[in-house]
Chain A
Amino acid sequence: MTDAQQLPLEGIRVIDLAQVFAGPACTRILGDLGADVIRFESANRMDVTRNLIITDNDGIDHHWHRASYFVIRNTNKREMVVDLAKEEGREIVRKLVAGADILVESFTPRVMANFGLDYEALSKIKPDLIMCSLSGYGQYGSMRDFGAYGMGLEPASGISSITGYAGGPPMRSGLSFTDPYSGFVGAGAILTALRYRRRTGKGQYIDLSEQEAAIPVMAAALLDYQMNGRLAERRGDRSGYAAPQGCYRCAGDDRWAVISCENDAEFERLARATGHAEWLDDARFATVTARFEHHDELDAAITAWTSQRDHYDVMRTLQAAGVKAAAVLDGKEILFDPHFQARHHFDIVDQPLLGKRPVQRHLAAKFTRFEAKARRAAPLLGEHNDEVLREIGYSDEQIAKLKEDAVIADQPNLPVPAQYVAAALKLPYDRYLEHGILQAVDADYREQLGIAE
């Protein structure tokens, strides 16, 4: 990319009233593409992610500036802390909207209308505004006012009903899966609307229900039920058409690799690569039908091979033979993996108070003409109050008055003294280690990552 070139969304302004995970993942992509994203927070109710995964598990002093969860989702954004319960606060939003292109919000449906900031009102100020509401269950329908957390919405989309061990209960993924999924869908929806606006000059309103956005992942199960009256069974890591497929124990402490053979040729390569050509003459394994029937026995035979090897060795050996295989990576390994490093999945961001930190890409797509990367640190609480207000014509006196009246702020109003919050945020990692909730805690992790000061 030459200096003269702009990022694709440079000059596009996004007002970001979204909190937590889905909305911020959506607007982070817009920011990564060059949009000027101005996020809003409230001093009385900070984004809850400012309280999560505090750097070094240490809530001392300004924990809200030390929250990793917040940082990884909010790089490339500016931020204001504005009290929207006050008319002067809502006036700031309206003034910004007049010069904005996109507004993203993730409140429960009644909130924006209560503020007088629904699409009807805002499109009078900016007729070609694109507004996207991300909510758990959508803007209308009998469940629209349901309280909705990410951890409930993957199950609500149906995906949990087909996730789990064979014969076991439905399971959630180890994250609020539909939060990033629907946030990404929101970014694509907004880009779709933006392209239409360029051609026609028309804005529009997008109602994105997190539950609905993820239901297409369930399509095969939905159709099987319609066509055959069958409810998809949970089957661990097995496949409906590839056999063997599974996650196999490798040498080491809790190390695993996945292997998947989608046809006889791949199975033959697996058999030869593992030194078990005799599998090919074994009636139990010779055809895909036989392999499905004797999957447990085949898994035991494969495990006898994998369990003697490092998970990376399993991947490399099998991939060299043309077999689909991958090491199951943990949160440390992915940071050191040569492939993720070569493709710059993590950008190093210099974050105030925290120093250099790895921040994952949210737009995985790579381009030859530009990079959708984390270019600047995540904002401190209310860091850009004055800067943004001046840009839209507020005088220093007016800004001082807004501060005095607590319409804008750069400190949270904590319900209890900060040291109590800090104590509550410090998770009992010693006990988590003991109970296997954590695998390890490396004291020298910054040296290992090469990001020590």
Chain B
Amino acid sequence: MAKRALSDLRVIDISQGIAGPYATKLLADAGANVTKIEPPAGDYTRRLGPFPGDVPDPEKSGLYLHLNTSKRSVTLDVSVASGQVILKKLLAAADVLVCGEKASTLRAWGLSYDDLRGEFPDLIVAQVSPFGATGPYAEYEGNNITAMAMSTIMYNTGEPDREPLATGGQAGEYLGGVQLWIGILAALENRERNGGGDHVDVSMAEAVAAADEYNAAMYGFQGAVRRRYYSRHIFGYPNDIMECADGYIVVIPGASGFPSPLQPDTISPMALLMEDIELDKTVFFQQMGERMVHWREFEALISPYLMSKSAMEIVMTAQALRLPFAFVPTASDLLSDEHLAERGFFEHQQHPRAGAITLPGAPFKMSVTPLTESPAPLRGEANADVLVGELGYETGDLTILSDRGVI
């Protein structure tokens, strides 16, 4: 049996959606025992899909199946007292409680860190919420797009005369999840070192802002306020996505793509790529500032070449010239990508209800304790195992709890 990095860790997860469940997926795939507590109607991602044939089915939601691998599912209404009693029995043997609610909701449920620390002094209460548990916006409502908005990243993404753009794929939720995951592991390290549980408080808005490349720094070190400019770096055009004959590529001349004043007699890799050595004499090849300000003229200069070649031809030739160009794959391209296949990236899984599905695999490869993904649970599939097997309820109790809508 493969060695599991976190097989000694017990996690109770009452969060729903993306951020919290992604954090506990990263723990569960590394071997932690994660009990996912779903409301009796199920985690709301069970209703979001995508679904096979667009037919809604809570056991076949693609997003749910991805985010909840390697976990067990217990249905329990933690918003009512009888559910909270059962949850606290589970916490007695847990290292970490993960929640995705804002502070006032957890307090109302008696499940905030302050409510729990007396009874469970070693418990780590990990909370990811739109704006965090403290501060003037703690009670604000939010989701992925509010986090993107507050981060400065959105203001700097998109075209200058149009609205700012959020990064695709609910990226802010995933960043919140990754930051929560790190926070949990850090609090566990601290518990080993200094003893005691802790409150890990992640604001999704801050999680995205932590990724800011240099927007705040430009102000804090220069007084300059950047704005979106076709989502480009201020360090120069292109370094951006451009159209070619059969799709799109990323044109990245890198540090040495354009003519170098240090080597006046050599032909630049960009000119070699485009098979036109005269280009080196143009102001656009010689001066970054000119490319940036007069990017349309520069684009007109290189576009005919790009539009005459396929993405494969351009990127492979550019890479051979040591220009770090890149592909712009779609979901379909990724699923059939040879390099990813050679690395065994995707996880091909047989789910009892959804059938054969291919999920994104481990986000990193560990040599001794590789992450593995077992199929996401059916709703409430571990109710009997956990309530009867671990907490000692009678089988008959399950019926009563179920009739009352607690489980």
Contact = CB atoms under 8 A, between A and B. Distances in A.
A69 interface: yes
A80 B93 CA distance: 46
A177 B9 CA distance: 31
B165 A437 contact: no
Interface in A313-329: 315, 319, 322-329
Interface in A228-253: 228, 231-232, 234, 236-237, 239-242, 245-249
Interface string B52-95: 11100000001101110000000000000000000000000000
Interface stretch (B246-254, B298-306, B394-402): B246-254
B210 A363 contact: yes
Contact of A143 (B200, B250, B334, B339): B339
A370 B194 CA distance: 10
Given A152-B326, A191-B182, A338-B136, A429 B169 contact: no
A443 B224 CA distance: 9
A310 to B, nearest CB: 15
A258 interface: yes
Contact of B214 (A72, A142, A159, A262): A72
B267 interface: no
A189 B326 CA distance: 26
Most buried by A among B175, B206, B214, B364: B364
Interface string B122-162: 00000000111111110011110111111111111111101
B14 interface: no
Contact of B331 (A132, A203, A232, A337): A232
A329 B149 contact: yes
Given A225-B332, A365-B183, A369-B190, A339 B167 contact: no
Contacts of B157: 163, 171-174
A192 B185 contact: yes
Most buried by B among A53, A177, A331: A331
Nearest to B217: A68
A328 B154 contact: yes
B36 interface: no
B41 interface: no
A324 B367 contact: no
Interface in B305-350: 319, 322-335, 338-340, 342-343, 345
Interface in B240-278: 240-241, 243, 248, 250, 252, 254-255, 261-262
B219 A247 contact: no
B145 to A, nearest CB: 5
A188 to B, nearest CB: 5
A365 B202 contact: yes
B342 A326 contact: no
A212 B340 contact: yes
Interface stretch (B103-111, B355-363, B377-385): B355-363
B331 A147 contact: no
Given A181-B178, A215-B345, A431-B289, A343 B190 contact: no
A181 B329 contact: no
Contacts of A224: 49-50, 62, 331
A324 B142 contact: yes
Interface string A171-185: 111111101110011
A58 to B, nearest CB: 9
Most buried by A among B3, B52, B133, B234: B234
A368 B149 CA distance: 27
Nearest to A198: B192
A10 B192 CA distance: 12
A180 B54 CA distance: 34
Interface residues of A, number: 180
Given A156-B326, A171-B231, A363-B210, A8 B193 contact: yes
Contacts of A52: 214, 235
A184 B182 contact: yes
A140 B214 contact: no
Given A153-B326, A162-B168, A191-B189, A260 B145 contact: yes
A164 B62 CA distance: 23
Given A161-B330, A249-B163, A442-B223, A196 B369 contact: yes
B250 A151 contact: yes
Contacts of B319: 146-147
A247 B180 contact: no
Given A152-B250, A171-B157, A342 B136 contact: yes
A367 B202 CA distance: 9
B22 interface: yes
B220 A357 contact: yes
A335 to B, nearest CB: 6
B391 interface: no
A367 B190 contact: yes
Contact of A216 (B150, B188, B254, B360): B360
B214 A53 contact: yes
B229 interface: yes
Interface string A246-270: 1111000010111010100010000
B241 to A, nearest CB: 6
A184 B53 CA distance: 36
Contacts of A361: 206, 210
A398 interface: no
A209 interface: yes
Contacts of B232: 172, 174
Contacts of A53: 214, 217-218, 221-222, 234
Most buried by B among A136, A146, A213: A146
Given A9-B189, A138-B365, A162-B169, 15 more contacts: A8-B189, A69-B214, A137-B339, A149-B252, A158-B333, A173-B167, A175-B213, A191-B185, A220-B66, A227-B50, A228-B53, A240-B48, A319-B140, A331-B226, A370-B190
8 contacts: A56-B223, A175-B211, A227-B62, A329-B152, A366-B201, A367-B187, A439-B225, A445-B220
Closest 6 CB pairs of A and B: A365-B183, A152-B326, A223-B62, A445-B223, A174-B156, A331-B215
